[in-house]
C-alpha cells in the first residue's frame, strides 16, 4: 500500500501511521481500514454500546479523510440502518467536517470512532443527519444489523466490508433477549456521564509519533442530553416534616441579641473631651505666668 503514495506527504504519512496502529492494536468495539485503491476512504464498523438499545448491533459506515488531514476533520456516513443516524448521509457531529472549528489535529480515526459510539445513545437534539426512533425499533434494527453487512460499492469495497463484519461479529455479544411487543423497563443511566466529555485538552502530535488514546474522546461532545436525575450527586434533599406535626410542637431556637449600650460610648467621649480641654487650659495658664515673670525681670 505504501509504495503507491508519496511518503513525504504529511497526510499520507499520518494515514499510514494510523493504519499500522489500527492493525497492531485492534479493538473489540470497532474496526476500520482504508481501501487499497484510496487510503483517504475508510470503511468502518462499530459495536452498539452496552446497556443501551443498540447493544449487540454492528453498524457499518464510511469515513472520508480530506487531503489536508489531520489539519481538517473527516466526514462520516452510516450505511447500516440504526434509528439514530440517517444512512447514506453525512452526519453532523463535533468530530465531523460540519464543525471544523472543533477539530484537533491530534485526533485520529480511532478517536473519532470511540466518540461516535459515545454519541449513539445521546439525544439527537435535531442535529443534521440524526434520527429519533423508539427504543423498541432500535433494538429490532440492532438484531437485523447482525444478519448481513450492507451491500454497496465496488467488489474491493464490498470485500473489505465483509471482512470487517466477520471480525466484528466474532467480537460482538449477542443482542439481549427482550420482548419487543412489551414495554420494557428502561434502566436509568446517567447520559451526562456518557457524553460529557470535562476533558483534558489533547496535545498536538506530530506525524510519526504516538496517537492520542481513547480517553481523549471525553472532550468531544457536542450534543448535550437532558439530565433525568432530578437530584444531582452532592445535593442534599431536606427531610420532609410529617403532616401530623404541628408547628407549635416544633422546637424553636432561642436567640438573644445583645445590643451595645450607646450611653457608655457617649460618656466616654464626653470624659475624653473634658480631659483634653483641661490640659489645654493648664498649658494656656502656664504660658501666661511665664510671660508675666519675663516682663517683671526686664
Grid coordinates belonging to 216: 481523549
Is 6 within 8 Å of 14 (Cβ atoms)?
no
Considering the candidates 22, 77, 92, 142, report the single residue annotated as catalytic: 92
Instruction: Report yes or no: 84 and 120 within 8 Å, Cβ to Cβ.
Output: yes
For β-strands 58-64 and 41-47, DSSP reports them as antiparallel
**92 catalytically annotated:** yes
Are 75 and 90 a contacting pair, CB within 8 Å? yes
Alpha carbons 207 and 218: distance in angstroms, whole number: 23
- How many residues are present in the chain? 298
Q: What is the residue-wise DSSP string for 181-206? A: SS-PPPPP--HHHHH----PPPPP--
- The helix (run of H) or strand (run of E) holding residue 22 is helix 10-24
Q: In the structure grid, which three cell numbers stand for residue 33, read together?
A: 481500514
CB-CB contact of 191 with 120 (8 Å)? no
Among all residues, which ones are annotated catalytic? 92
Amino acid at each position: 500500500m505504501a509504495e503507491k503514495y508519496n511518503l513525504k506527504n504529511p497526510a499520507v504519512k499520518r494515514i499510514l501511521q494510523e493504519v499500522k496502529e489500527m492493525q497492531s492494536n485492534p479493538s473489540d468495539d470497532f474496526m476500520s481500514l482504508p481501501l487499497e485503491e484510496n487510503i483517504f476512504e475508510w470503511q468502518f464498523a462499530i459495536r452498539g454500546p452496552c446497556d443501551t438499545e443498540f447493544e449487540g448491533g454492528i453498524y457499518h459506515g464510511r469515513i472520508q479523510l480530506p487531503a489536508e488531514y489531520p489539519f481538517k476533520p473527516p466526514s462520516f456516513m452510516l450505511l447500516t440502518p440504526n434509528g439514530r443516524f440517517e444512512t447514506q448521509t453525512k452526519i453532523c457531529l463535533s468530530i465531523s467536517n460540519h464543525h471544523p472549528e472543533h477539530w484537533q489535529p491530534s485526533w485520529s480515526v480511532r478517536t473519532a470512532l470511540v466518540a461516535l459510539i459515545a454519541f449513539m445513545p445521546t439525544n439527537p437534539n435535531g442535529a443534521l443527519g440524526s434520527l429519533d426512533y423508539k427504543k423498541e425499533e432500535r433494538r429490532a434494527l440492532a438484531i437485523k444489523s447482525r444478519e448481513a453487512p450492507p451491500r454497496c460499492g465496488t467488489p474491493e469495497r464490498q470485500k473489505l466490508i465483509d471482512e470487517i463484519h466477520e471480525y466484528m461479529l466474532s467480537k460482538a455479544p449477542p443482542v439481549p433477549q427482550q420482548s419487543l411487543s412489551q414495554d420494557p423497563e428502561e434502566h436509568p443511566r446517567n447520559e451526562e456521564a456518557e457524553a460529557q466529555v470535562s476533558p483534558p485538552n489533547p496535545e498536538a502530535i506530530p506525524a510519526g509519533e504516538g496517537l492520542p488514546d481513547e480517553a481523549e474522546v471525553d472532550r468531544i461532545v457536542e450534543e448535550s442530553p437532558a439530565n433525568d436525575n432530578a437530584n444531582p450527586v452532592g445535593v442534599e434533599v431536606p427531610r420532609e416534616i410529617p403532616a401530623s406535626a404541628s408547628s407549635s410542637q416544633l422546637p424553636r431556637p432561642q436567640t438573644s441579641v445583645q445590643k451595645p449600650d450607646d450611653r457608655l460610648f457617649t460618656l466616654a467621649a464626653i470624659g475624653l473631651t473634658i480631659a483634653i480641654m483641661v490640659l489645654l487650659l493648664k498649658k494656656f495658664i502656664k504660658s501666661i505666668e511665664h510671660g508675666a515673670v519675663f516682663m517683671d525681670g526686664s
